[in-house]
């Protein structure tokens, strides 16, 4: 985490509409990374990592969707995973000890990280996912890569997977034997590229002369909204952030009551947000430690049930002829509630995944309307490879120590 968050020049912010996504990415990353990576190398990393668009699509007047699912794994996590893997690859010198990336996934992280690191020399990725709690397409994305990617199916929840990974990082023996690193959004290299699309979405609205921009963010580990708040701290003049969760409402409850009470996660339709103790919340609190009241002002919490999610999916389909994934639908509900109180604001809700990743949520009629991307058709012919483990740390440690791959 940067010790001081750099403020971008006002002139840049005011003229954002004149820059492309990659130009914005370069300016923002340069400010955050200072001269850690020389300009030409940073440009090359960005060109390679950010090779798909992030369009703002208007649903109706004042309500827009920011589509973040046009990357290879069909989720916004491609931004973070692709940038991070290339930055890590950049710093790895030939002949150095292999980098062992441990990652816990509730569904989408694993696929993005696997595709981001696949074939990156001198790296190995171990993905932990909760058995039976990811969708069939997600499971195929995690378990069919081979090469330097391996998948571990944990008999437990996402929180169990995350706890195993965090525990491994504090284990002396594992740290002596392996060069461990994280690929979850506790890694700052994932958050930096996620700031790019907030600036770029703002730029798209600026081109249409729109102001009073509000972002509604479907939140689980709070990395995505953490990146938005980082963009805000760097000078992006966002009017409000809406943190939208499913019934795993630890943060909305905190914003309401002032009491932070982590809870065991509950399984929902929006499984990528089934997080009871969001990793990035401490980072967000820290970013605002100089003025905690500012955080309470800029951030509003919402939480919605599965029934409301299903209702929202139908409503958006009927009214706007648009298919939203369950996570996206939760952000839309927050946007809708905000709009009712603040009708002149320009609301942007983030669409974090392509709906085809969650086929079990949709009725036949809606499922028919989803266009299936090519990469999904190809996945369905592949074979699953995963090692099954319990949720205790000793078994996981033994697996890491004894697996000779
Ligand atoms: C990971 C994920 C989220 C939650 O993002 P966080 O950064 O963990 O808050 C939301 N929607 C989808 C589809 C995801 O994959």
Tens digit of each residue's pLDDT (9 = 90 or more) over 251-301: 999 999 999 999 998 989 998 899 999 989 999 999 999 999 999 999 999
Specify if 3 maps to a domain. Answer: no
Please work out whether the CB of residue 219 comes within 6 Å of at least one atom of ligand 1: yes
The stretch 75-84 carries a mean pLDDT of 96
- Shared domain for 110 and 168, answered yes or no, is yes
- Judge whether 148 and 119 are in contact, CB under 8 Å: yes
pLDDT score at 404: 59
Ranges 100-109, 193-202, 366-375, most confident: 193-202
pLDDT at 182 over 90: no
How many of the other CB atoms lie within 10 Å of CB of 91? 10
**Share above pLDDT 90 across residues of the chain, in percent, rounded to a whole number:** 86
Same domain, 96 and 54: no
Confidence of residue 72 (pLDDT cuts 50, 70, 90): very high
Average pLDDT over residues 61-80: 96
- Give the closest residue to 391 by CA, choosing from 282, 273, 269, 265: 265
pLDDT at 132 (0 to 100): 93
Pocket test for ligand 1, best of 108, 244, 282 (most atoms within 8 A of CB): 108
The CA 35 to ligand 1 mean position distance, Å, reads 30
Cα–Cα distance, 69 to 53 (Å, whole number): 9
Residue numbers of the domain that contains 217: 10-34+49-72+188-368
Same-domain pairing of 175 and 55 = no
CB 49, CB 19: distance < 8 Å? no
Which of 215, 272, 313 to probe ligand 1 with, by most ligand atoms within 8 A of CB?
Answer: 272
Please check whether residues 156 and 197 belong to one and the same domain. Answer: no
Nearest to 347 by CA among 20, 61, 7, 29: 61
Residue 262 lies in a domain: yes
| Same domain flag for 183 and 193 | no
Are 200 and 294 in a shared domain?
Answer: yes
**CATH code of the domain covering residue 227:** 3.40.50.1100
**Does the model's pTM come out above 0.85?**
yes
Judge contact between 126 and 99, C-beta under 8 A: no
């Amino acid at each position: 985490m940067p010790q001081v968050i750099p403020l971008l020049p006002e002139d840049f912010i005011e003229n954002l509409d004149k820059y492309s996504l990659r130009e914005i990415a370069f300016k923002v990353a340069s400010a955050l990374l200072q001269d850690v990576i020389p300009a030409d190398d940073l440009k090359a990393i960005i060109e390679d990592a950010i090779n798909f668009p992030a369009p703002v699509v208007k649903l109706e007047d004042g309500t827009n969707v920011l589509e973040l699912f046009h990357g290879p794994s069909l989720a916004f996590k491609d931004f973070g995973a692709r940038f991070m893997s290339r930055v890590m690859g950049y710093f790895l010198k030939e002949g150095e000890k292999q980098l062992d990336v441990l990652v816990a996934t509730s569904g989408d992280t694993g696929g993005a990280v696997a595709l981001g690191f696949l074939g990156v020399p001198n790296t190995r990725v171990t993905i932990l996912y909760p058995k039976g709690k990811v969708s069939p397409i997600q499971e195929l994305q995690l378990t069919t890569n081979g090469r330097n990617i391996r998948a571990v199916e944990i008999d437990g929840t996402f929180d169990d997977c995350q706890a195993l990974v965090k525990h491994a990082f504090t284990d002396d023996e594992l740290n002596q034997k392996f060069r461990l690193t994280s690929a979850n959004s506790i890694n700052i290299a994932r958050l930096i590229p996620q700031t790019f699309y907030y600036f770029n979405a703002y730029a798209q609205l600026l081109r249409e002369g729109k102001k009073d921009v509000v972002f509604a963010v479907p939140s689980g580990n709070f990395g995505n909204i953490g990146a938005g708040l980082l963009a805000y701290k760097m000078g992006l003049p966002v009017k409000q952030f809406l943190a939208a969760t499913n019934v795993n409402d630890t943060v909305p409850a905190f914003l309401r009551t002032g009491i932070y009470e982590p809870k065991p996660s509950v399984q929902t339709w929006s499984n990528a947000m089934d997080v009871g103790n969001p990793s990035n919340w401490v980072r967000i609190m820290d970013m605002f430690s100089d003025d905690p009241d500012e955080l309470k002002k800029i951030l509003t919490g919402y939480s919605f049930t599965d029934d409301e999610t299903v209702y929202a999916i139908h409503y958006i389909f009927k009214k706007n002829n648009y298919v939203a994934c369950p996570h996206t639908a939760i952000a839309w509900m927050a946007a809708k509630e905000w709009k009712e109180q603040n009708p002149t604001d320009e609301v942007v809700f983030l669409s974090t995944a392509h709906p085809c990743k969650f086929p079990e949520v949709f009725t036949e009629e809606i499922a028919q309307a989803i266009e299936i991307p090519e990469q999904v058709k190809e996945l369905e012919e592949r074979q699953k490879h995963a090692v099954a483990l319990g949720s205790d740390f000793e078994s996981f440690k033994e697996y890491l120590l004894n697996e000779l791959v």
